[in-house]
């Protein structure tokens, strides 16, 4: 698979190149540099929202599928992503770990049974993460189906911890996901890239990639 990375010099970019295999990397884009050696079948963007404009241009020019992991995208960004998705397959997600995909499914199915309970979400990430709350926390809140307090900690080198706690007068139920390393997101992105290549144009959620394994 010939692929390109947007955000290639970043923490995720370096991890992605290692997991996808450096030999098939035909394009790298970052703040510091842009190199396009060949036509990428898929572009994988884990960078900043400001990079999206260039990502969309490159996908259009080479008709590349897109795997989009950048967080803190606005509604306007998503309108632009949906426009691209009319011509190529786009897999977008704020968390490319399979465990979070499964946690989302569990919440969607069972949170209604706890609708009378208190619910709070907490997330912990490394000190370099710029957005808070995390995109994943926002997604989990949607799955809970109601507004709830969300707590963000920025500490050390934590790749990403998320907990959803439900409580009533007599019991507490906590569902926790911990990413042990960034590699997990890169492995999920690789799964998403394989899914996207050869897929009909459209906007796909990473959860659809996870569901393929069920
Ligand atoms: P980082 O700061 O280490 O790297 C950012 C990269 O983006 C760098 O290569 C930088 O040069 C590049 N960049 C910044 N602005 C740019 C611009 N205007 N044009 C082109 N390139 C630009 O960040 P990181 O920790 O690697 O995280 C990158 C993104 O991935 C963040 O949005 C983070 O939240 C997200 N992320 C998503 C998941 C997921 O599963 N969806 C997992 C981890 C991180």
Residue in 2, 129, 141, 162 annotated catalytic: 129
Does ligand 1 lie within 6 Å of residue 133's CB atom? no
Non-local (6+) Cβ contacts of 163 within 8 A are 121, 122, 123, 174, 175, 176, 177
Residue 88: asked if its preceding bond is cis (omega within 30°), the reply is no
Q: What is the pLDDT of residue 198?
A: 83
Does ligand 1 lie within 6 Å of residue 158's CB atom? no
Give residue for tokens 């995208």. 73
Active site residue 129: yes
- Closest CA to ligand 1's atom 18: 51
Residue of 4, 8, 48 to test ligand 1 pocket, by largest number of atoms within 8 Å of CB: 48
Residue of 4, 5, 8, 12 to test ligand 1 pocket, by largest number of atoms within 8 Å of CB: 12
Tokens representing 117 are: 């309970």
- Consecutive 10-residue averages of pLDDT for the chain (214 residues): 98 97 98 97 98 98 98 96 98 94 95 97 96 95 96 96 98 97 95 94 93 76
Ligand 1, atom nearest to 134 Cα: 34
Rounded to whole angstroms, the Cα distance separating 186 from 202 reads 22
Q: What is the pLDDT of residue 21?
A: 98
Give residue for tokens 């409580």. 167
- Closest CA to ligand 1's atom 28: 47
Rounded to whole angstroms, the Cα distance separating 180 from 178 reads 6
Q: What is the pLDDT of residue 61?
A: 98
Residue of 5, 7, 27 to test ligand 1 pocket, by largest number of atoms within 8 Å of CB: 7
Q: What is the pLDDT of residue 179?
A: 96
Prediction pTM value: 0.91
Ligand 1, atom nearest to 31 Cα: 11
The sign one gets for the Cα dihedral 4, 69, 73, 85 is positive
Residue in 53, 82, 125, 142 annotated catalytic: 125
Non-local (6+) Cβ contacts of 76 within 8 A are none
Active site residue 2: no
Q: What is the pLDDT of residue 164?
A: 98
């Amino acid at each position: 698979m010939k692929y390109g990375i947007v955000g290639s010099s970043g923490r995720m970019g370096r991890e992605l190149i290692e997991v996808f295999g450096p030999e098939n990397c035909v394009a790298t884009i970052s703040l510091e540099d842009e190199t396009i050696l060949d036509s990428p079948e898929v572009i994988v963007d884990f960078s900043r929202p400001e990079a999206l404009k260039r990502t969309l241009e490159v996908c259009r020019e080479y008709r590349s599928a897109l795997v989009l992991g950048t967080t803190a995208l606005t509604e306007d960004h998503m309108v632009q992503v949906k426009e691209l998705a009319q011509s190529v397959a786009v897999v977008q997600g704020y968390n490319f770990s399979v465990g979070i995909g499964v946690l989302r499914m569990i919440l969607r199915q069972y949170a209604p049974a706890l609708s009378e309970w208190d619910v709070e979400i907490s997330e912990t990430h490394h000190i370099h993460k710029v957005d808070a709350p995390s995109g994943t926390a926002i997604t989990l809140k949607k799955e809970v189906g109601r507004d709830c307090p969300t707590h963000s900690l920025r500490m050390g080198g934590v790749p990403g911890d998320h907990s959803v706690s439900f409580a009533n007068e007599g019991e507490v139920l906590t569902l926790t996901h911990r990413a042990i390393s960034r590699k997990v997101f890169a492995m999920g992105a690789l799964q998403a890239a394989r899914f996207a290549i050869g897929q009909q144009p459209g906007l796909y959620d990473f959860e659809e990639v996870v569901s393929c394994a069920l």
